[in-house]
Amino acid sequence: MNGDLFQPEGRSAPSATPSPSADAAAPLADRMRPTHLDEVVGQEDLLGPDGALRLLLQGDRLPSLLLWGPPGCGKTTLARLVARHTSARFLEYSAVQVGSKELKAVMGDAARLQQATGQRTILFLDEIHRFNKAQQDALLPWVEKGAVTLIGATTENPSFEVNSALISRTRLFVLKPLSSTGIVTLLRRALSDARGLGPDPGFSLTDEALEMIGEISEGDARAALGLLETVAAAWQARDPRPGEELDAEAFAQLIRNRAARYDKGGEEHFNIISALHK
């Protein structure tokens, strides 16, 4: 639903998939980012055979988009995959880190590139709701002229956080949290995939332990994979017996201990303990 499968912010996305050994030190969630649309778990209404976004991509005529959804549902991953299915150049920025002056220069370069070569530029702007009204307004001329295809991602309701003029010039797609079943699918993939902990992770979890991660992650794939990675390291550090499975009880104890060690008495400790008792 990736140290990353893609270049850092402000760079073009690569045209080839890195080898499984690349970025081995990156977080598990980064290593397990889908490399093509068919790997995406969830969002069937957008990416299924008759999904609205998949149909748009078939003709390589992508309009400007707004992707709205909770953390860990795949907004950034989807934007990057969309770029791979077009002939456009892909640039990625965070609204928290980029300024209006820099962005204006980027869009000017995109306009000149399009005029000189005909190549389009997809500009992915994460956390677009962090831009104020004036900054969002500055995007309008470039979007209207087609100098860039904008993909804005937000966790906030665009009706309240994105200018109506910008909304009217984009297609809004709503991404949903992953189901618990979808999360478990991702966890199993991470345990068997060479990009993740596989093909021989050196440990295994019972179905109940996997389902527990699926429940407490509340649809956030990034959080679920991060938890799996943490628990895997903690379990292996205990030097389990050959063939010993991590069951739900042992899993619960591991994350209780971790919460107490790193956040004793803090909010995260109580969040985890509360989730375990739901």
Pairing verdict, β 171-174 and 149-154: unpaired
pLDDT per residue over 136-167, tens digit each? 999 999 999 998 999 999 999 999 999 999 99
pLDDT of 239 reads 78
Q: Is the dihedral of CA 159, 163, 167, 172 positive or negative?
A: negative
- Which of 20-24, 73-77, 193-197 has the lowest average pLDDT? 20-24
DSSP for 10-67?
A: TSPPPSSPPPTTTTTTS-HHHHT--SSGGG--S-HHHHSTT-HHHHHHHTT-PPPEEE
pLDDT of 58 reads 83
Does position 182 have pLDDT exceeding 70, yes or no? Answer: yes
Strands (E) in the chain, as ranges, are: 65-68, 89-94, 121-126, 149-154, 171-174, 204-205, 245-246
Are 40 and 163 found together in one domain? Answer: yes
pLDDT of 278 reads 44
Is the distance from CB of 168 to CB of 136 less than 8 angstroms?
no
Mean pLDDT of the 114-129 span: 95
pLDDT cut 90: percent of the chain above it: 62
Domain count, the chain: 2
Q: Is 53 exposed, middle or buried (0-12, 13-18, 19+ CB in 10 A)?
A: buried
pLDDT per residue over 45-83, tens digit each? 999 999 999 988 887 778 999 999 999 999 999 999 998
In the listed set 133, 149, 174, which residue is the last one of a domain according to the structure?
174
CATH of the domain at 221: 1.10.8.60
Is the distance from CB of 95 to CB of 128 less than 8 angstroms?
yes
pLDDT per residue over 208-217, tens digit each? 999 999 999 9
Higher per-residue pLDDT: 175 or 12: 175
Torsion from C-alpha of 98, 104, 109, 112, nearest 10 degrees: 160
Supply the pTM of this predicted model. 0.82
pLDDT cut 70: percent of the chain above it: 84
Does position 273 have pLDDT exceeding 60, yes or no? Answer: no
Does position 277 have pLDDT exceeding 80, yes or no? Answer: no
pLDDT of 196 reads 94
DSSP state of 126: E
Per-residue pLDDT band at 260 (split at 50, 70, 90): very low
pLDDT of 258 reads 59
pLDDT of 218 reads 93
DSSP state of 211: H
CA distances from 239 to 228, 235, 251 (A): 17, 7, 15
Does position 259 have pLDDT exceeding 80, yes or no? Answer: no
In a domain, 3, yes or no: no
The CA-based angle 64-70-71, given to 5 degrees, is: 100
Q: Comparing C-alpha atoms, which of 258, 250, 161, 262 is closest to residue 208?
A: 250
Per-residue pLDDT band at 254 (split at 50, 70, 90): confident
pLDDT of 266 reads 47
In a domain, 144, yes or no: yes
Does position 272 have pLDDT exceeding 70, yes or no? Answer: no
Task: List Cβ neighbours of 209 (8 Å cut-off, separation of 6 or more).
Answer: 245, 246, 247, 248, 250, 251
Are 71 and 152 found together in one domain? Answer: yes
Does position 265 have pLDDT exceeding 90, yes or no? Answer: no
CATH of the domain at 113: 3.40.50.300
Distance CA 40, CA 212 (A): 21
In a domain, 14, yes or no: no
- Residue type for position 21: S
80: containing domain:
34-174
In the listed set 174, 190, 220, which residue is the last one of a domain according to the structure?
174
Distance CA 225, CA 50 (A): 29
In the listed set 152, 174, 196, which residue is the last one of a domain according to the structure?
174
Higher per-residue pLDDT: 154 or 202: 154
Mean pLDDT of the 93-99 span: 93
